[in-house]
Amino acid sequence: MSDLMTYTPGTSLIHRLPAAAKILGLAAVSIATVVTSNLWMTAAALVLAATVTVMAKVPRRLLAKQWKAYLLIVGLLGGYQWLTNGPRTAFHVAGGLAALLLLAGVISSTTRTTELVDLIVRCATPLKRIVDPERLGITLALGIRSVAVVYDLARDVRAAQLARGLGFSLRAFAVPLVVRSLRQADGLAEALIARGFDD
């Protein structure tokens, strides 16, 4: 699996924080940046995200890989907002998104997937008459893993295009990526059915 979403062992304060505290912190920053349109709040979120990243001692190699994946969407969204709504809105939207992505990357780097799954299962336990907490936890784990799997598939497709000397074409890139993703999903579905998760 890609190390885009891989836990990196460490002893920093951020590593030692409970998963619940990290998720609540991310939720608070999300609300603060999305609900308000204050540019100072957006700037504060960026400073906070950068500070937390330094405190967590996230490896530069991992940061580079994460931002290689994130930069396109942040840049496109910021550019679109700049053209349609001006620089203030562009900074608010793209800056807020960048801060949230940075914080989410820190959480994935400093928190084991099992901790996140256990947190969701505990939170869902009071609702067990409505939803199965264990199945919800498995769904979350699969969702987290799927992000990295699709990233790996996209990287493989692009590497194959470059090896054949092909330039970038959205159609030529998207079609094999979708086909490979569907095959991956079919294989996963068969494995789940074999283990009794088909109901």
Q: What is the dihedral of CA 121, 45, 77, 39, to 10 degrees?
A: 140
Cβ neighbours for 6, distance < 8 A, ≥ 6 positions apart: 62, 108, 109, 148
pLDDT one digit per residue (tens) for the chain, 199 residues: 455 556 788 889 999 999 889 988 988 988 888 777 788 999 999 999 999 999 998 888 877 877 777 777 788 888 888 999 899 989 998 998 889 888 888 888 898 878 877 887 888 788 777 777 777 666 666 666 666 666 667 777 778 877 877 766 667 777 777 787 777 777 766 766 665 655 5
What single letter denotes the amino acid at residue 128? Answer: K
Cβ contact 141:94 at 8 Å: no
* pTM of the predicted protein model: 0.68
Q: Phi and psi (nearest 5°) for 106? A: -65, -40
pLDDT, tens digit, 9 for 90 and up, residues 126-162: 877 777 777 766 666 666 666 666 666 777 777 887 7
